[in-house]
């Protein structure tokens, strides 16, 4: 029996972007306030999952032609790379650096290497969640 997904599909087209934007906001909020790579990653996976429910696996693959296992690996490269960076300066592993920088138009920016680490976490979380969902939910032909 084919069910009609019109409402779900129409809603998804709007909600997907809202959730994505919110996940990016949460990701950047993560330093001093609740949020960060992990939650941001979960939200993004939630958005992709919604897409998957409203349409099907093939649609998701067409929109995001990514091997999620490689995404995990890239995320790990970011996370480990941030840690290894401190080895070069003879500081304990995972020591972070930060500083203020003046950028025209945007003004004073507070930059922190922890963001790069968090980006790694974000990628790992999205990658792992999506690999799990694809493995369980997808029919491997």
Partner 1 sequence: MAMINFLILPILVPLITAVILIFLNKSVIAQRWVSGLSAFVTVILSALLVNKVKNDGIQTLNLSNWDAPFGITLVSDMLSALLVLTTSIVAFACIIYSFKGIGEAREKHHFYAALQFLIVGVNGAFTTGDIFNLFVFFEVMLMSSYALILLGGTNIQLRESIKYILVNVISSGLFVIAVGYLYSVVGTLNMAHIAERISEISGISQPGVISIIGIIFLIVFGLKGAIFPLYFWLPGSYYAPPAPVMAIFGALLTKVGVYSIIRTYSLFFYEDGGYVQQVIMILAILTIIAGIIGALAYWDVKKIIIYNIIVAVGVILFGVSTMNENALTGSIFYLIHDMIIKAALFLLVGLMATISGTNNLKQMGGLIKNYPGFSWTFFLAALALSGIPPLSGFVGKVLIVQGGFSSEYFIGAAIVLASSLFVLISIMKIFINGVWGEPKTYANEKSVPYKQLLIAPVILVILSICYGVGADFVYPYISQAAESLINTNIYIDAVLKE
Q: Is 77 in the site for partner 1 (CB under 8 A)?
A: yes
DSSP E strands, the chain = 98-103, 107-112
Using CB under 8 A, pick the residue from 38, 96, 131, 134 that binds partner 1.
96
Name the segment binding partner 1 (CB under 8 A); options: 20-28, 32-40, 41-49, 92-100. 92-100
CB-CB contact of 131 with 69 (8 Å): yes
| Cα–Cα distance measured from residue 62 to residue 85, given in angstroms and rounded to the nearest whole number | 36
Q: Decide whether 64 or 87 has the Cβ nearer to partner 1.
A: 87
Q: Which is nearer to partner 1, 34 or 92 (CB)?
A: 92
What tokens appear for 133 in the block? 């969902």
Asked whether the beta carbons of 131 and 122 are under 8 A apart, the reply is no
Nearer to partner 1, 46 or 96 (CB): 96
> Using the rule CB under 8 A, is 20 a contact of partner 1?
no
3-state secondary structure of 5: coil
Nearest residue to 139 via CA among 72, 42, 53, 56: 56
Q: Is residue 91 near partner 1 by the rule CB under 8 A?
A: yes
- Span of 21-29, 44-52, 84-92, 131-139 interacting with partner 1 by CB under 8 A: 84-92
Q: Where do contacts with partner 1 occur on this chain (CB under 8 A)? A: 69-70, 72-73, 76-77, 80, 83-84, 86-96
């Amino acid at each position: 029996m084919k069910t009609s997904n019109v409402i779900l599909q129409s809603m998804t087209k709007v909600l997907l972007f809202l959730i994505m934007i919110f996940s990016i906001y949460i990701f950047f909020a993560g330093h001093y306030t609740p949020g960060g790579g992990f939650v941001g990653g979960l939200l993004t996976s939630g958005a992709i999952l919604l897409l998957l429910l409203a349409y099907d696996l093939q649609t998701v693959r067409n929109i995001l032609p990514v091997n999620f296992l490689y995404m995990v690996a890239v995320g790990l490269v970011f996370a480990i790379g941030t840690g290894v960076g401190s080895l070069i300066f003879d500081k304990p592993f995972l020591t972070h650096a930060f500083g203020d920088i003046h950028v025209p138009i945007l003004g004073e920016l507070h930059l922190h290497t922890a963001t790069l680490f968090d980006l790694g976490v974000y990628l790992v979380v999205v990658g792992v969640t999506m690999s799990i969902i694809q493995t369980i939910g997808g029919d491997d032909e």
